[in-house]
Amino acid sequence: MKRILRGRRFPGGIVLDKDPAWRAPIETLPVPDWVALPLLDHNGEALDSKVKVGTRVGLGEVLAGDEVPLLSSLAGKVAAIEPHPHLSGFRVPSLRIERQGEEGRWEPSGDWRRMGQEDLLREARRKGLCLPDLGGSEVEALVVRAFHDDPYTAVAQRLILESPDALRQGLAILQRLYVCQRAFIAVESRPPQAFSAWRAWAREMENVVLVNVPNQYPQAEEDLLFSAVLPRRILRELEAETARAIAVSAEEVLLLAEALVGGRPGVEKLLTLAGSGVPSPRTLRVRIGTPLSFLFSCCGLDPQGLGKVVAGGATRGWAQFDDRAGIGRDTSGLLAIRREEVELSPEEPCIRCGWCLEACPHDLNPVRLWEACRQEQWEAAEAYGLWECSECGACAYSCPAHLKLVHWFRFGKQEAAARGRDKNKPLAA
């Protein structure tokens, strides 16, 4: 590694007080008795199940989907295919699989070093890893997101402290898969133990550049991450669409190594459990689809004492009310807040202080957008950038009047979409 770069700041954004639970080692949760796997692909589109009720499935068996298949996180029997509570709050048609029998061993399909690009991609996707298919076009840069936007999630920090070799292998696989040598590792300078671990890790590799990104939320969003990390030349090429760049998380790098070197299917999720209702916040390794109730009982949390449960991070996550919902592929953080500490502040009149405009990373006018949504003026809302809003929450975070801006923008998107103006779907948790 030649040097450490300083990441660029983008206009807008906010500074969050980060308190990641990086000190506790990753714990693998026991296998649950049942899992709930929603029949949705990585874009949120509905899938048709390939198995029927009563079928026996093995661990990692394909249940639905073709390109990036839905894999079974358990070895057992399909107990039901019906609408099941989902982290988004809706009841989504899901497969409920009950554990039965032994989980077999798994083997890699071959030496990854001898596989070509297409084979590697196919194999990774077969193992449940959702990597983009660029059809062989030029990839200028690989960006590894080795930090988290969320104030409590510490997955990337734990991974570098526990599995640096697997991460190295994963990066090598990625470099081969996308035929791109240049990798940028985006890290935050805190906690210093993780930063120095990443620096030591990157130092031993060629063509790997460490970028120290500033604490600016929401820098984990792909376009903002690229603008913070990549050199201007590459940014210009991205703009002109003459080159492509890929962003992956540190967790994906690890799972890729485990899948292609060890043959392990990507049926697990690394997430951090934190919040005032959790006496010792820590990072867990859970099977995808593990119900929240099982997670709580394994960690010794009393669900009745919890006043708020948030899946997906403190700034973007979805509040939960049914703990039969299962952990999803994107659930990196689980926040459990004690009943006494739940804060529900009512909305007060907007005093037009302008702090939300300063916080918005996408140069939107949240006040105008909010007014348009509230007054149900959908064309005006779209003119003010309704579909450019990434629901990061920086505006609502800064608002002194406690306006529930993200709620209004989601309402606006829902209504505008229902009127047939855009095909974008709401983000799944």
Partner 1 sequence: MPLEALPTGLRETAVSAPPHERSGASLTTYALPWGLAIFPAIAGALFLWRLTGLTLLACGVLSAVLAEGLCALVRGRPWRVRNGHAALVGCLLALTLPTRAPGWLAAAGAAFGILFAQEAFGGNGYHLFHPALAGRLFLYLSWPQYFHRSPLPGEIPLALPEVWKGIGLAQLNGFLFQPGRLLGEASAALLVLGALFLMFQGTKWRIPLGALILVGLGTRLGDGMNPWLHGNLRETLSLPSLYLLLGFMAVEPVTTPLTHEGQWAFGLGLGGLVVLLRAWRGDPEGLFVLPLVLGMATPLFDRLGDRRR
Instruction: List the interface residues with partner 1, window 336-365 (CB under 8 A).
Output: 337, 342-346, 348-355, 357, 363-365
CB 363 to partner 1: min, Å: 6
Q: What angle do CA 225, 229, 231 make, to 5 degrees?
A: 130
Nearer to partner 1, 178 or 409 (CB): 409
> Residue 392 Cβ, how far from partner 1 at the closest point, in Å?
8
Q: Which of 40, 121, 180, 310 binds partner 1 (CB under 8 A)?
A: 310
With CB under 8 A as the contact rule, the residue among 40, 183, 335, 428 that binds partner 1 is 335
DSSP character for 345? Answer: P
Residues 94-133 binding partner 1 (CB under 8 A) are 96, 98
Output the CA angle 113-117-118, nearest 5 degrees.
Answer: 125
Report the distance separating Cα 406 and Cα 390, nearest Å. Answer: 9
- Residues whose CB is less than 8 angstroms from the CB of residue 114 and which lie 6 or more positions away in sequence, other chains included: none
Q: Which of residues 16-55 bind partner 1 (CB under 8 A)?
A: 16, 34
The separation between the first and the last C-alpha atoms of the chain, rounded to the nearest angstrom, is 36
| Closer residue to partner 1 in complex, CB, 233/374 | 374
To 5 degrees, how large is the angle CA 218–CA 373–CA 150? 20
Exactly one of 400, 422, 425, 426 binds partner 1 (CB under 8 A); which one? 400
Question: In the stretch 135-174, what mask flags binding to partner 1 with x, by CB under 8 A?
Answer: ----------------x-----------------------
What count of residues does the chain have?
429
136 and 116 Cβ atoms separated by less than 8 Å: no
Q: Given the rule CB under 8 A, which of 177-185, 228-236, 245-253, 300-308 is the region that contacts partner 1?
A: 300-308
Helices (H) and strands (E) in the chain, counts: 13, 17
**Among 31, 404, 417, 421, interactor with partner 1 by CB under 8 A:** 404
* Residue of 233, 402, 419, 425 that binds partner 1 (CB under 8 A): 402
Asked if residue 307 binds partner 1 (CB under 8 A), the reply is yes
* Residue 313 token pair: 């991070």
User: Listing from the earlier edge strand, what are the strands of the sheet with 244-249?
Assistant: 4-6, 208-213, 183-188, 139-145, 244-249
Q: Determine which residue in the list 27, 162, 223, 323 makes contact with partner 1, applying CB under 8 A.
A: 323
Query: Quick one: which of 177, 238, 270, 396 contacts partner 1 (CB under 8 A)?
Result: 396
CB of 216 to partner 1, least distance (A): 14
DSSP code of 202? H
Q: Is residue 231 within 8 Å of residue 210, measured between CB atoms?
A: no
The residues in 367-386 that bind partner 1, with binding defined as CB under 8 A, are 367-368, 382-385
Q: Do the beta carbons of residue 312 and residue 332 sit within 8 Å?
A: yes
Minimum separation from the CB atom of position 309 to partner 1 (A): 6
Least distance (Å) between residue 81 CB and partner 1: 12
